[in-house]
Structure 1
């Protein structure tokens, strides 16, 4: 079995990127921080996706996390960037906008492999992937309201379509934690994988997909996610991210963030 050939580390400090068996692999790579997404990660993921989309040798991409977490979502220390300058909220909006839209615009199949919990924006962007495989030990949580924020990653549109409006509201408004089995039952997860020999099972399935004709997969994806759906997602992302900017600038959000730091 071939090993992954890693991309140059000069491009990436918070993710790992490699190639194997004609497919790409991107992994959140801050395991000591539960793969929290800091400002660097928000910029490195789009860069990696676009480079792999342009690489003709890459048939599809698997997105996962190093260690025990897929990703714990937005690094709380990003608020020092958001509030660190006069235009910090607008610059942060642009960074997240670029991050989400990189998922929407990716032309090749994108498989999310949740080796562990997915929280916040790492959970919402799962809905922009073409398949989501999860360990039985994974769980999913979108605790936006705890910090007086709103939905992102297109979840205001995709969550209700996937799981229905009531369950989507439980997730997006009331901080419901969803188990891997619940996520499979409602359609957020396409495959549940036993935590025993998880990596071996995933690699075997990826190698099977790597044998499929690449252009046929790209065509299939373009038809499943037609241009009208893509345009709708892009508009949704823009609206959500402007909503986040308004939230960050609100006294309610600033008070919630300060209260969180005071508890630490």
Structure 2
């Protein structure tokens, strides 16, 4: 399995386990992640094996989206984004190495984010001829302001852990060797709280319907851009280089 799910002591640990591909997400992984989040019985801890948290979408599955017709809701990636958007349980993320594309945008849906010192976030959508996804056009702008969000998106540059912390995208930066222990400790402290109160507090702090409307709007534009000559050229160059 490319995603491991374990439950213990009120915590559901969801671990990306495709390190050889830098934990790039394919359709099957999106489905497993969605099911794990939707049915989580307690606090969720998102983790990843290997040197990188997530390299974004699997490029082959990514290109196949260009042929999709109809509602974005039918796509595994959007089921995953919907699961994140409407998640009842608090989500803690532990991020090391690269977090690219959806590997970064998913963090905007998490309630606490811990980064290792070597973490680097990047949003390369515009360089690929694409547009923001995962609600990032709304959530990132709300979090760090329009000017900074636009710079992150338009440059596609790697954002170091300290910058992500200072702008409010992350809660804490820790040593690489301490990431698992520290993130589990955060999840344990949340799991020790009265569950109903925890769920209600999260619900009061979020507006999932508004976020989902934005994700659908983004998705329609994103799929149209996938069919553009600019995106086709970018993907061809990536595959040739690979």
1:88 aligned residue: 68
1:152 partner SS: coil
* Cα gap change, 1:29 to 1:91, in 2 (>3 Å): farther
Correspondent of 2:33 among 32, 45, 48:
45
1:127 aligned residue: 108
Correspondent of 1:235 among 213, 222, 225:
213
1:90, CA displacement in angstroms? 4.8
Correspondent of 2:19 among 28, 31, 38:
31
Q: Distance between the aligned counterparts of 1:89 and 1:170, measured in 2?
A: 32
1:187, CA displacement in angstroms? 0.3
* Cα gap change, 1:41 to 1:251, in 2 (>3 Å): same
1:197 partner SS: helix
1:67 aligned residue: 50
CA contact under 8 A between 1:63 and 1:111: conserved in structure 2?
A: yes
Q: Distance between the aligned counterparts of 1:163 and 1:59, measured in 2?
A: 29
Q: TM-score, normalised on structure 2? A: 0.93
1:263, CA displacement in angstroms? 2.6
Q: CA RMSD in A?
A: 1.8
CA contact under 8 A between 2:63 and 2:226: conserved in structure 1?
A: no
Matched, 1:258 2:236: yes
1:124, CA displacement in angstroms? 0.7
1:164 aligned residue: 145
- The residue correspondences of 1:186-197 to structure 2 (distance < 5 A) are 186-197=167-178
* Cα gap change, 1:90 to 1:44, in 2 (>3 Å): farther
Bigger radius of gyration among the two: 1
CA contact under 8 A between 1:89 and 1:248: conserved in structure 2?
A: no
* Deviation digits for residues 57-109 of structure 1 (CA, Å, limit 9, x no counterpart): x32111111122111111112245335xxx43658773222221110011111
CA contact under 8 A between 1:105 and 1:230: conserved in structure 2?
A: yes
1:15, CA displacement in angstroms? 0.7
1:110 aligned residue: 91
Q: Distance between the aligned counterparts of 1:200 and 1:262, measured in 2?
A: 40
* Cα gap change, 1:80 to 1:174, in 2 (>3 Å): closer
1:9 aligned residue: none
2:113 partner SS: strand
Q: Distance between the aligned counterparts of 2:91 and 2:62, measured in 1?
A: 29
Matched, 1:21 2:9: yes
1:7 aligned residue: none
Q: Distance between the aligned counterparts of 2:182 and 2:87, measured in 1?
A: 25
- Structure 2, unaligned runs of 5 or more: none
Instruction: Tell which has more relative contact order, 1 or 2 (C-alpha 8 A, sep 6+).
Output: 2
